[in-house]
Amino acid sequence: MTAKSPRKPISLTRFLIEEQRDKGHINSDLRLLIEVVARACKRIAISVGRGALGGVLGSAGTENVQGEVQKKLDVLSNEILLEANEWGGHLAALASEEMDDPHPIPHRYPKGEYLLVFDPLDGSSNIDVNISVGTIFSVLRCPAGVKDPDEKAFLQAGVKQVAAGYAVYGSSTMLVLTLGDGVHAFTLDREIGSFVLTGSDLTIPEDTREFAINMSNLRHWQAPMRRYIDELLAGKTGPRGADFNMRWVASMVADVHRIITRGGIFIYPIDAKIADKGGKLRLMYEANPMAMIVEQAGGMATDGHGRILEIVPKSLHQRVPVFLGSKNEIDRVTRYHREAKV
């Protein structure tokens, strides 16, 4: 009997060509966009992976529009994504957590039909302590007839996203992607320098015994948030009749990747400390792309009241509360908020 040859690895390039040619899910511009973003993420992975040897740890000594001190790698990652995407002719404009306003495509290059918005290095406060960080991106269509997209062109509800993904720079570098037809995971094969398909149609279990939240904010939470977490902490003898485990990496990409991989819930609720800002996490380049990925994997993503993907943005850097992950738990905690009418 001849030994069965192992299945040939499917590269990201082949996956995207088959999505375009065989399924008609994407066109050549969107295929190019994803390939370019993936290549930029490989470059970011190399810089992140160099750590202290790369001279890119620590603060850049500047602040972004959020008033957050920028890390050198925040700035570098942003520049890598801008340079990679400016010349290809697939984008009409870009926007980033690290830039006040949208970045126009230079007039010397052709424009395309897509808008790319991203958090170039999410969780960057973890870089100096060698904890996983990541890049989050969201793809929208540029509204018809808009030649020079400004902020207004980006202000589309998350349901309008045509693709979303993240790269997680952890023990391995992975790219997790949805084109609106399921969630697929690719692992970077460093020897050949390609992302290889290592997970198809990822699915989040509807139930979980694991939650992720920053417990240090407990005293600032609204009543339904306290009720939900108190019930989890009460364990077997409490109203839930089961013990729950907690994780909090303080890197959204790492926490969400764990949930995509084995289930769980991630919550960054509104609290008294951040009520005036509307929340901690940004709608356009954190909540929306992650919400699309989570829903495509069978999970749920709300702001405590309604689907995150149905929120019509009022500004590019708008913040929202985020509840996402295993469907039955997000359904419960959202019901508690609705019942409390907060």
Residues of the shown chain interacting with ligand P6P in the complex, contacts defined by CB under 6 A: 122-123, 125, 214, 250-252, 280-281
Closest residue to ligand P6P, based on beta-carbon distance: 252
Least distance from ligand P6P to the Cβ atom of residue 201, Å: 26
Q: Assign residue 139 a region: left if phi > 0, alpha if psi is -120 to 50, beta otherwise?
A: beta
Nearest residue (CB) to ligand P6P, 280 versus 327: 280
Alpha-carbon span 278 to 163, nearest angstrom: 25
Nearest residue (CB) to ligand P6P, 69 versus 157: 69
Least distance from ligand P6P to the Cβ atom of residue 252, Å: 3
Nearest residue (CB) to ligand P6P, 200 versus 214: 214
Least distance from ligand P6P to the Cβ atom of residue 123, Å: 4
Nearest residue (CB) to ligand P6P, 215 versus 242: 215
Least distance from ligand P6P to the Cβ atom of residue 170, Å: 14
Nearest residue (CB) to ligand P6P, 135 versus 208: 135
Question: What is the three-class DSSP state of 203?
Answer: coil
Least distance from ligand P6P to the Cβ atom of residue 68, Å: 8
Alpha-carbon span 260 to 264, nearest angstrom: 8
Alpha-carbon span 312 to 316, nearest angstrom: 11
Nearest residue (CB) to ligand P6P, 13 versus 125: 125
Q: Which two tokens stand for residue 269?
A: 């609720």
Q: Maximum Cα–Cα distance for the chain, whole Å?
A: 69
Burial pattern 176-209, b for ≥16 Cβ within 10 A else e, equals bbbbeeebbbbbbeeeeebbbbbeeebebbeebb
Closest CA to 270 of 325, 310, 319, 198: 319
Least distance from ligand P6P to the Cβ atom of residue 269, Å: 11
